[in-house]
Amino acid sequence: MKKTIYFFIISLLVLTSSCKEENGKRLTAQQIVDKSIAICGGELYKTSNISFEFRDRKYVKENEGNQKLLKRIFENDSLNIVDVKTSKGFERYVDGQLITIPDSLAIAYGNSVNSVHYFAYLPYGLNDPAVNKKYLGKISINNKEYYKIKVTFDQENGGEDYDDVYIYWFNTKTLKPDFLAYKFHVDGGGLRFREAYNEHYVNGIRFVDYKNFKPIENSRSLYKIDSLYIQGELELLSKIDLKQIEVNQGNYN
């Protein structure tokens, strides 16, 4: 009950403060992201242990001391496989035994684990140290107004895909990210656009599922992909649904 009351008060304060923009100075990209994180979960992202299922695999975020562990757990030919990604690197355990894998596979597996966790906890990751944010203006989508924000990454601490470019659309009234798009370079590169749906809160943290789109024509600009969505010029590739979500308080210090 206390968590519910606390979350309601924080949400009310964030929404009230955001309304001041109409009478004062425009919010910066950083302010928009800060307010969005606060209303979507805030410190609970950092202090909670989280688990969910995605495409027949279980993903777990655990806090161990002052370290964050990102896990992927699944069965393969009756073998139990646990992939673990930390700030120190990647490890794979098969039936409880640590195995040695080539560096190239460790990087690929680690990126895959990190990517699923990253999207699941948005917008929290947008305040990571290597993230750069730029305000691109406002746009109307489906009769709602959005702040459009570009996100890039520093090469240092920006991961293997540091040169990818993202755009997020934050609802100007709720301050929640309802859409995101990105330009990637692996496997020949391309553009993706995601529409959030099925929003729900689990113990104070917001989770959404996504409709995953791509442009019908390949040679399109990331910065105009919202116009393609509005004009119906994107095709649905897949749906990204999280199941069996659990959130519990951890021991992060």
* pLDDT over threshold 90, residue 67: no
pLDDT at site 156? 73
Contacts 24+ apart (CB under 8 A), 207-214: 207/52, 207/120, 207/242, 207/245, 209/239, 209/240, 209/241, 209/242, 210/119, 210/239, 210/240, 211/236, 211/239, 211/240, 212/236, 212/237, 212/238, 212/239, 212/240, 213/237, 214/190
The per-residue pLDDT for range 143-201, each reduced to its tens digit, is 999 999 999 998 776 566 667 899 999 999 999 999 999 998 777 778 999 999 999 99
For residue 219, the model assigns a pLDDT of 67
Mean predicted confidence (pLDDT) in 125-138: 95
Q: How confident is the model at residue 218 (pLDDT cuts 50, 70, 90)?
A: confident
> How does pLDDT run across 20-60, given as a tens digit for each residue?
454 557 899 999 999 999 999 999 999 999 999 999 999 99
3-class SS of residue 134: strand
The pLDDT assigned to 79 comes to 95
Tell me which residue of 50, 44, 185 sits closest to 124, measured CA to CA: 44
Pairwise CA distance, residues 221 & 167, whole Å: 12
Q: Look up residue 126 and give its two tokens.
A: 């947008």
pTM, rounded to two decimals: 0.86
Residue 232 has pLDDT above 60, yes or no: yes
| Alpha carbon 96 to its chain's center | 29
Give residue-wise pLDDT tens across range 3-19: 444 444 444 444 444 44
3-class SS of residue 101: coil
**Domain parsing of the chain, residue ranges:** 2-249
The CATH fold assigned to 2-249 is: outer membrane lipoprotein receptor (LolB), chain A (2.50.20)
Q: Mean pLDDT for the chain?
A: 88
pLDDT-derived band at 87 (thresholds 50, 70, 90) equals confident
